[in-house]
Amino acid sequence: MRSMKILFTNKFFHLNGGSETVFFQERSFFTQNNYEIIDFSMKDDRNINSPFADYFIPNINYQKSSGIKKQIQQAFSFVHSSLAVKNIQALIEKEKPSIAHLHNIYHQLTPSIIPILKKYGVKVLLTLHDYKLVCPSYLALKNEKICEECKGTHFWKPVTTNCQNSYAQGFLLSAEAIFHKWKGSYDDVDLFLAPSQFMADQINQRIPSKKIQVLHNGINIEEYQPNYNDQGYGLYFGRLSKEKGIETLLKAHMNMPHSFPLKITGTGPLKTVLSKKYSNVEFLGYKSGQELNTLIANAAFVIVPSEWYENCSMVILESMAFGKPIIGSSTGGIPEQIEDGKTGFLFEMGNVEELSKKMTQLANDTKLRQYFGKNARNKLENEYSLNEHCQKLENLYKDLL
């Protein structure tokens, strides 16, 4: 048994999104390598088992609160959770971890747990899955368009610009960001991990570069068998929402000079209206597991038309793992993942005509698809191996200690 005790902390202890995928990948690696693992999270019927579940805070769902008194109580806990502070302090005193690796802690666990960790001499790492440190609303969007008005310091902007289309919600987000900046909660983080250089540069508006380390997301390469042949269709898989650029993709597909099948996998707020408007496209609904893997493996290419600052897209990594070329918008961390003209194509965000041309070029050229796909798989093996990701993380832990 190794001497290092690692406290893994995330508000969800079940698969809820890409951040939880990364969280459980890392936790599994260190568990399998005989490190002593401690968990801290929020209770939920969907949680995987943990011997530390008694320390988890009760489930909080801010979308389903009712009654003025409860809403006021939740508003305070949204900014500072005294219960999370109390429970994690008890856990630290009993288990005495040497490292705490935080992932998604906002709102339910709150950054208020960070100073408690430092009080007990625990080294703290925080993996950045979004732009919360420079944008109180996570996504750097206003009216469904990219917004950089807060710039890591102007945290009153959600109120003055009403970027949430709700002054109450904007006030709460602003209050949370201003409170933790005043308290210096993030000052006690020893190292911020950014999955892309783009993310690192954005966070550098607030955090000194010496405290930021780029660590790409990883994928277990051995679990994916590349398929350089295909069944002749384009594929989008992900959330069906405005910031994902889904309608730009559908317009581009409609503008292709020759018909080429397009499959859309996923769900979201735009699903109903888009499926009625674009009847020439196959909307498959939500898919996961082997069913989704088969769709990716047989696709001619995958499109990632995002119109927000993607970080290190797991959609792109999974597509690369199956040896698929990817067409992606040149925004956020996407250009770090896609090498234009080598593993796929980049296009100007929101440019329907350019995307249509790139799709047509790949649709008409089987050899180019195979060339891009093989290069994509090679890039994945060289730069995004999960084993290499976890070994780098292990070395960062040791350096901090």
pLDDT along the chain (401 residues), means of 10: 82 88 94 95 95 93 52 58 94 97 92 95 95 81 77 78 77 81 90 96 93 95 95 95 94 93 94 93 93 97 95 94 98 96 97 98 97 98 95 96 91
Question: What is the amino acid identity at position 11?
Answer: K
Task: Give the relative orientation of helices 366-383 and 314-321 as an angle to the nearest 10 degrees.
Answer: 110
pLDDT at 83: 93
Q: pTM of the prediction?
A: 0.87
> How far is it, in rounded angstroms, from Cα 81 to Cα 84?
5
> How far is it, in rounded angstroms, from Cα 280 to Cα 275?
9
Architecture of domain 221-383: 3-Layer(aba) Sandwich (3.40)
> How far is it, in rounded angstroms, from Cα 109 to Cα 42?
8
Common-topology check for domains 5-218+385-400 and 221-383: yes
289, 346 contact by CB (below 8 A): no
The per-residue DSSP string of 127-140 comes to E--SSTTT-TTSS-
Q: What are phi and psi of 185, to 5 degrees?
A: -55, -40
Spans of all domains in the chain? 5-218+385-400, 221-383
Q: Two tokens at 207?
A: 């955090």
pLDDT at 69: 46
DSSP category for residue 308:
S
pLDDT at 71: 46
Whether domain 5-218+385-400 has CATH 3.40.50.720: no
pLDDT at 63: 57
Strand spans (E) along 11-122: 36-40, 99-102
> How far is it, in rounded angstroms, from Cα 266 to Cα 237?
6
pLDDT at 1: 38
Around Cβ 346, how many Cβ atoms within 10 Å?
Answer: 19
Q: Two tokens at 69?
A: 């008194």
pLDDT at 76: 53
Task: Give the relative orientation of helices 68-79 and 167-183 as an angle to the nearest 10 degrees.
Answer: 40
pLDDT at 139: 75
Q: Two tokens at 361?
A: 């070029």
| Count of all residues that appear for the chain in the document | 401
The 3-state secondary structure of the chain reads CCCCEEEEECCCCCCCCHHHHHHHHHHHHHHHCCCEEEEECECCCCCCCCCCHHHCECCCCCCCCCCHHHHHHHHHHHHCCHHHHHHHHHHHHHHCCCEEEECCCCCCCCCCHHHHHHHCCCEEEEECCCCCCCCCCCCCEECCEECCCCCCCCCCHHHHCCCCCCHHHHHHHHHHHHHHHHHCHHHHCCEEEECCHHHHHHHCCCCCHHHEEECCCCECHHHCCCCCCCCCCEEEECCCCHHHCHHHHHHHHHCCCCCCCEEEECCCCCHHHHHHHCCCCEEEECCCHHHHHHHHHCCCEEEECCCCCCCCCHHHHHHHHCCCCEEEECCCCHHHHCCECCCEEEECCCCHHHHHHHHHHHHCCHHHHHHHHHHHHHHHHHHCEHHHHHHHHHHHHHHHC
